[in-house]
Structure 1
Amino acid sequence: MPQPASRRLSPPLSFAFACLLTGVVAGIGGLILSSLLHIIQHLAYGYSTDQILGHVSFLEGATQAPWWRRLLALCVCALVAGLGWWYLWQRMRPLVGINQAVREGAPPMPTGSTLWHVLLQIVTVGLGSPLGREVAPRELGALGAGHIARRLGLASEDVALLIACGTGAGLAAVYNVPLAGALFSLEVLLGRFRWRMVIPALTTSALAAWIAAQGLGNAPQYHLHMSAGASPQLMIWAIAAGPLLGLGAYAFSRITEQARVSAPRDHRLFFYCLINFPLIGLMGIAAPSILGNGKPIVQSCIDGTFTLPVLLMVLVFKLIAVWGSLKSGAHGGLLTPGLAMGAIIGTLAGMLWNSLLPGMPMEAFVLVAAPAFLAASMRMPMTALALGLELTRVDHSWLSPMVLATAGALATAHLCRQRWSR
């Protein structure tokens, strides 16, 4: 029943209140989903079960777990993914994706189906699925924003804008990246940078990141060891490595897109998952860093702990695992897997460079290559660069080689799409 006119907020105040509430909901949602992910990881692999947020990383926990536990975790993941997504497609209301929800006049995201989809992603990534966890909080943030906007009676244009802001706020919450979250809303979902969009995007992402950090902590996602700034040698390497990263990003995006398009949604999904995830468990016995969303790979590349043979094995296994998971019908993000692939290629190129001109730390190559690869593979340069800065808290002087490598990667990937995507 409509409220009396004297009790209704004016449209500007209603929208401002909706933005604040969206940031709060996205932040709490990101905190809950991240905590749930850590609980599942600790229980599945049997490490630090007395604390949700401990000093033992997922890679350390998975490596210390006996081989049979890694395999068992992925077998459970196969059952959860196969049955869960089959039930979603066959028995629940059709999903409304974020890209569809941000269009004016789009139908609302169904609550039950969306929450089921969110939980499936978090549970499977916690059990060792190689896909990213960031889509789940984005969907949860979008769902909450849509409910808030419609309850407050906002216009359809404002509903779409708030859903985009809620999506970016969800990303900001789980990784503590307020700027990247806002840029994701503007660059990827809205495709425009207008004041009316920029202000709510920044507000919701900043608020969500701050709220989630109260429970998850304020530490960077990746820990660097460098003290000196970027060198002229790294600037030259960034220019040379850009095209290589662009070629890899184009190939990665084509492989993953085709796998997603051809993924089944009928009874075959269950049987594909029963094959794919135990296979990942077997590969994880030899290379535990491929388990999970890809963060262990990036940190290992930063630490320089991979030898060349192990790095090549991780590259092949991770690519097979991501392709197989998407092909089998599982869902998840490609943000952290993309960073992982970029880190691997950057490390390989860095090894070659140091064999000719030694002296640069391996983490410098990773820092430049990972966001450049992500920018080219997901076509979001501003967001990727912001992620590179915020995930590492790196000094501003590193931005120049990151931008150079990103420009080269973007140009090369664009030329490849023009040449081979017709």
Structure 2
Amino acid sequence: MNQARNLIRRLFSRHTGSLLPLVMLGVLTGIAASLVMMSFLLILNATLGGLNGNNLEDFESLAWYWQLGLPVLGSALLILLYHFTPRNWQSVGLAYVLERLQFGQGRIPAGNIGFQFVAALVALGSGHSVGREGPAVHMGAGIASQVGQVTGSPPSQLRLLLGCGTAAAISAAFNTPLAGVLFAMEVVLMEYSLLGFAPIIAAAITASALTGALLGEHAILEPVQLSLASYQDIPGLLITGLWVGLLAVLFQRLVLVFVRVPLKSRSLRLLLAGTITGVLALAAPQILGSGYDTINIMLNEGLPWLLLLVILAGKLLATAAAIGLGVPGGQIAPTLMLGVCAGGIAGALIPGTSDPALYALLGMAAMMSAVLHAPLAAIATVLELSLSAESMLPAMIVVLGANLLCQHGFHLPSLVITQLRVRGQELQTHPVRTALAQRYLSELADMSLVHWNGKGVPPVTRAPVLIVQRDQHYYLLAAAQLDENTSAEELDKLLTPGRRLQLLEQDMSLLEALRSLQGEPGAGFLVPVRRGQGLVTRSRLVRMLTEEGGLY
């Protein structure tokens, strides 16, 4: 097993700076993520089919006591699952992926992936108001992390592979490769790079093709053809964008209200989420589950605006409770349903000549974009799910209004960043600091080190530098500065604070390293690497930051 792993590592590390190995890793990630997502979808669809028949999301047809009790039962099963799962495997979702990406070198434990797999099945199968997208991102990124660790990828490549896994999982689960690529770039990696596009696209295409070949067509939303009837409706679209933006603000505020509910016990929080969802389902059973059946009905047949208002209110509370109280599911599908209800209400009440279903479709994109700060991914998601390219221009108008209100009117970060801030973790969003925070010293380490304890005759070495250990400190000296006649007194004069090295117990990001060097006269770092220790000097950091392409 170890021999095979070492062979794989040599294969992919031979040309670490070239594009072809990254594309090959993207394809490998796409295959692995696709297989996992197909397994997840088959089990989930079998569970929902057993409950609701051929219409998998038809929770409305269940008896009232099932509508009330199913989410509570799901909460009870989740409590048992949490009880028997090690604590270090229990973190889930998109926020956890971003946390591992920036603070954990992109390493996601295999046990954590398995927990997300089972927990998401329970939450989605029991009708909790969550989506499958967050679990898909988590599982795809986790599989990618495992692929990267097996192949010995450095942290920067591991980070890129998490983007590949995200795109592959979304593409496999929803047959939306373009949306998967944009979501990975816009929400997970938070940057666009030419180097990243090729492997991420390769992963998305591979996952989509393999899933389509094995499962056949599995589109979630039925295709619709909707277009703007008249440019005179553009003011109405702007109003719709502002209306959806206000709902996005309210949604985030409600999530924080439930996050801050004074219940420390996870069991009580999960039971409260299940109870709230079950009670609300008695008034509006459409809120149960992801809600794709209701979205399809609204886009193809339409619903009365008063019913949409009831569903919107119930879904808003149920989803905020589920996310805020810790139900392990995603938030994209619920935001799409919130958006379709809000857009449908706007289309029914705002004067205009366009089909109200168009407003419902645009509301989906606006809500997703405003909540996640992902305008391109939101537009691509709606366009790919609906196959309605004519809605591109009006979608851009509505998304613009919603995003402006949330980001510049209320200065709200995305929901994912808000969730991390509640945990006391602040993501770097400035592009330069983000790049520095997501690359690590081990990628710059020089392995040709010669150590000397400072006693006796200095060793004869061809290495240009020498690491001298004295009084539990390490110093960096040029080998040319020493010879066999160097006395102890002369050596002491050379071992100045400016030549001292920081001995690190674990790898450090470039951002942390630069902060550590601020105001310090040290020469650099001794970094733990796979084969022992590596050296990163202050001058090496400066060259990396100032040379063309040094960060990539």
Quote the residue 1:273 is aligned against: 270
Quote the residue 1:378 is aligned against: 372
Task: Choose from 379, 383, 401 the match for 1:389.
Answer: 383
Quote the residue 2:39 is aligned against: 32
* Structure that is richer in strand per residue: 2
- Note if contact 1:82-1:271 (Cα within 8 Å) is conserved in structure 2: no
Query: Residues 224 and 363 (structure 1 numbering): CA distance in 2 closer, same or farther, change over 3 Å?
Result: farther
1:68 equivalent to 2:54? Answer no
Give me the TM-score of the superposition, normalised by structure 1.
Answer: 0.87
Matches within 5 A, 1:266-345: 268-345=265-342
The CA RMSD measured in Å over matched residues stands at: 2.7
Query: Residues 82 and 231 (structure 1 numbering): CA distance in 2 closer, same or farther, change over 3 Å?
Result: farther
Higher relative contact order (CA 8 A, sep 6+): 1
Query: Residues 389 and 243 (structure 1 numbering): CA distance in 2 closer, same or farther, change over 3 Å?
Result: same
Task: Choose from 394, 415, 418 the match for 2:411.
Answer: 418
- Take 1:216 and 1:263, find their aligned partners in 2: how far apart are those partners? 45
Query: Residues 72 and 251 (structure 1 numbering): CA distance in 2 closer, same or farther, change over 3 Å?
Result: closer
Amino acid of the residue matched to residue 313 of structure 1? V
1:347 equivalent to 2:344? Answer yes
Amino acid of the residue matched to residue 15 of structure 1? L
Query: Residues 4 and 145 (structure 1 numbering): CA distance in 2 closer, same or farther, change over 3 Å?
Result: closer
Q: Mark the structure with the bigger radius of gyration.
A: 2
- Take 1:113 and 1:130, find their aligned partners in 2: how far apart are those partners? 22
Give the stretch that moved more between structures: 208-217 or 91-100: 91-100
Task: Choose from 345, 363, 366 the match for 1:369.
Answer: 363
- Note if contact 1:186-1:193 (Cα within 8 Å) is conserved in structure 2: yes
1:104 deviates by 7.8
CA-to-aligned-CA distance 1:56-108 (integer Å, 9 cap, x gap)? 3422xx233322333342232121123323544x6444648211232386262
1:213 deviates by 2.3
- Note if contact 1:129-1:292 (Cα within 8 Å) is conserved in structure 2: yes
Quote the residue 2:510 is aligned against: none
Matches within 5 A, 1:41-52: 41-43=48-50, 45-48=51-54
1:138 equivalent to 2:131? Answer no
Query: Residues 67 and 95 (structure 1 numbering): CA distance in 2 closer, same or farther, change over 3 Å?
Result: closer
Count of residue pairs brought into register by the alignment: 404
- Take 1:169 and 1:193, find their aligned partners in 2: how far apart are those partners? 17
Quote the residue 2:164 is aligned against: 165
- Note if contact 2:228-2:358 (Cα within 8 Å) is conserved in structure 1: no
- Take 2:355 and 2:268, find their aligned partners in 1: how far apart are those partners? 45
- Note if contact 1:301-1:362 (Cα within 8 Å) is conserved in structure 2: no
1:230 deviates by 4.7
1:151 deviates by 1.3
- Note if contact 2:140-2:166 (Cα within 8 Å) is conserved in structure 1: yes
Query: Residues 105 and 314 (structure 1 numbering): CA distance in 2 closer, same or farther, change over 3 Å?
Result: closer
1:245 deviates by 1.7
Amino acid of the residue matched to residue 148 of structure 1? V
1:292 deviates by 0.3
1:272 deviates by 2.9
Amino acid of the residue matched to residue 84 of structure 1? L
- Take 2:249 and 2:158, find their aligned partners in 1: how far apart are those partners? 34
Query: Residues 227 and 4 (structure 1 numbering): CA distance in 2 closer, same or farther, change over 3 Å?
Result: closer
- Take 1:133 and 1:65, find their aligned partners in 2: how far apart are those partners? 21
Quote the residue 1:118 is aligned against: 117
Query: Residues 346 and 58 (structure 1 numbering): CA distance in 2 closer, same or farther, change over 3 Å?
Result: same
1:225 deviates by 4.6
- Take 1:230 and 1:154, find their aligned partners in 2: how far apart are those partners? 52
Structure 2 portions without partners, runs of 5+: 419-552
- Note if contact 1:131-1:322 (Cα within 8 Å) is conserved in structure 2: yes
Query: Residues 302 and 5 (structure 1 numbering): CA distance in 2 closer, same or farther, change over 3 Å?
Result: closer
* Structure that is richer in helix per residue: 1
Query: Residues 101 and 272 (structure 1 numbering): CA distance in 2 closer, same or farther, change over 3 Å?
Result: closer
Query: Residues 349 and 146 (structure 1 numbering): CA distance in 2 closer, same or farther, change over 3 Å?
Result: same
Structure 2 residue matching 1:58: 3-state secondary structure: coil
Give me the TM-score of the superposition, normalised by structure 2.
Answer: 0.67
Query: Residues 69 and 186 (structure 1 numbering): CA distance in 2 closer, same or farther, change over 3 Å?
Result: same
- Note if contact 1:290-1:314 (Cα within 8 Å) is conserved in structure 2: yes
Matches within 5 A, 1:180-191: 180-191=179-190
- Note if contact 1:27-1:210 (Cα within 8 Å) is conserved in structure 2: no
Give the stretch that moved more between structures: 142-151 or 216-225: 216-225
CA-to-aligned-CA distance 1:19-75 (integer Å, 9 cap, x gap)? 1110111111221111111111122x2524xxxxxxx3422xx23332233334223
Amino acid of the residue matched to residue 414 of structure 1? Q
1:125 deviates by 0.8
- Take 1:179 and 1:225, find their aligned partners in 2: how far apart are those partners? 18
- Take 1:319 and 1:246, find their aligned partners in 2: how far apart are those partners? 14
Amino acid of the residue matched to residue 166 of structure 2? T
- Take 1:187 and 1:319, find their aligned partners in 2: how far apart are those partners? 25
Quote the residue 1:19 is aligned against: 26
Quote the residue 2:11 is aligned against: 8
Query: Residues 410 and 151 (structure 1 numbering): CA distance in 2 closer, same or farther, change over 3 Å?
Result: same
